[in-house]
């Protein structure tokens, strides 16, 4: 079956949000690893809560609010300027080492590539540009358009609308188990990039296509053609 496009999640799949440890350490946060894990959890929790409550706020806002909560929870009294710099650092995250080679391999197949992100479109494009991979993608799709965060079906429908195809013509790549779950439920052909060796979600069957890294993606897509 022909693949119409390969669509990627952004944070944690292409961009290494764990790299936030470095600016956190530079800001004087005592335990950056614990801090970034708590910040990320709260950031995602806020996205789920605002979708469920019909009280959408964009991802940059939620990131800043989650940062404030994490500072209070972990009792780190960062200044307003320090917090603003940390929130802005989400736009300068580096890519994982396997990203560029994987994108190069897919480009040789002339398959359109896109990003589908919970982030704001301008922030996502800035992050992709800073990481040096913005020119690899035909489009950046943001949930801002539908004001509902993944795993809401309306978010995944952005991909099928963009490429004018059925869900099973799109390979969706995410390292987030909850995102892989939502995309599979919507009907996309999910490739779960399970770099961390996490257990699959149990709400639905595990994704049929699991990768230990993006180096395996080209062979998987070739088998789908």
Find residue 172's DSSP bridge partners.
Answer: 7, 190
Q: Which DSSP letter does residue 95 get?
A: B
| pLDDT 10s digits, 106-161 | 999 999 999 999 999 999 999 999 999 999 999 999 999 999 999 999 999 999 99
Q: Indicate the pTM of the whole model.
A: 0.95
Q: Provide the CATH topology of domain 5-16+93-224.
A: Rossmann fold (3.40.50)
Does 171 have pLDDT greater than 70? yes
| pLDDT 10s digits, 31-71 | 999 999 999 999 999 999 999 999 999 999 999 999 999 99
User: What is the set of active-site residues?
Assistant: 9
On the 0-12 / 13-18 / 19+ scale of CB atoms within 10 A, 213 is: middle
Q: Where in the chain is the domain with CATH 1.10.150.240?
A: 17-91
Domain at 17-91: CATH code: 1.10.150.240
CA distance 109 to 223: 12
Q: Where in the chain is the domain with CATH 3.40.50.1000?
A: 5-16+93-224
Q: Helix or strand or coil: residue 190?
A: strand
Which phi and psi (to 5°) does residue 171 adopt? -90, 120
Measuring CA to CA, how many Å separate 33 from each of 9, 15, 69, 211, 213? 22, 17, 16, 25, 22
Q: Could you tell me if residue 198 is left (phi over 0), alpha (psi between -120 and 50 degrees) or otherwise beta?
A: beta
């Amino acid at each position: 079956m022909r693949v119409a496009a390969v669509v990627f999640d952004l944070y944690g799949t292409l961009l290494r949000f764990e790299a936030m440890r470095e600016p956190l350490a530079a800001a004087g946060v005592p335990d950056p690893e614990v801090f970034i894990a708590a910040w990320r959890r709260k950031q995602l929790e806020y996205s789920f809560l605002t979708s469920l409550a019909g009280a959408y706020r964009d991802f940059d806002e939620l990131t800043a609010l989650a940062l404030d909560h994490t500072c209070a929870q972990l009792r780190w009294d960062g200044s307003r300027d320090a917090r603003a710099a940390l929130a802005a650092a989400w736009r300068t995250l580096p890519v994982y080492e396997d990203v560029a080679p994987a994108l190069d391999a897919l480009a040789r197949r002339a398959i359109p590539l896109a990003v589908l992100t919970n982030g704001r479109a301008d922030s996502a494009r800035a992050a992709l540009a800073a990481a040096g991979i913005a020119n690899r993608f035909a489009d950046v799709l943001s949930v801002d358009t539908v004001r509902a965060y993944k795993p809401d079906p309306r978010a995944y429908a952005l991909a099928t609308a963009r490429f004018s195809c059925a869900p099973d013509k799109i390979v969706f790549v995410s390292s987030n188990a909850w995102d892989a779950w939502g995309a599979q439920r919507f009907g996309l052909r999910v490739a779960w990039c399970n770099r961390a060796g996490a257990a699959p979600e149990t709400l639905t069957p595990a994704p049929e296509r699991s990768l230990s890294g993006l180096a395996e993606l080209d062979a998987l897509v070739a088998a789908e053609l």
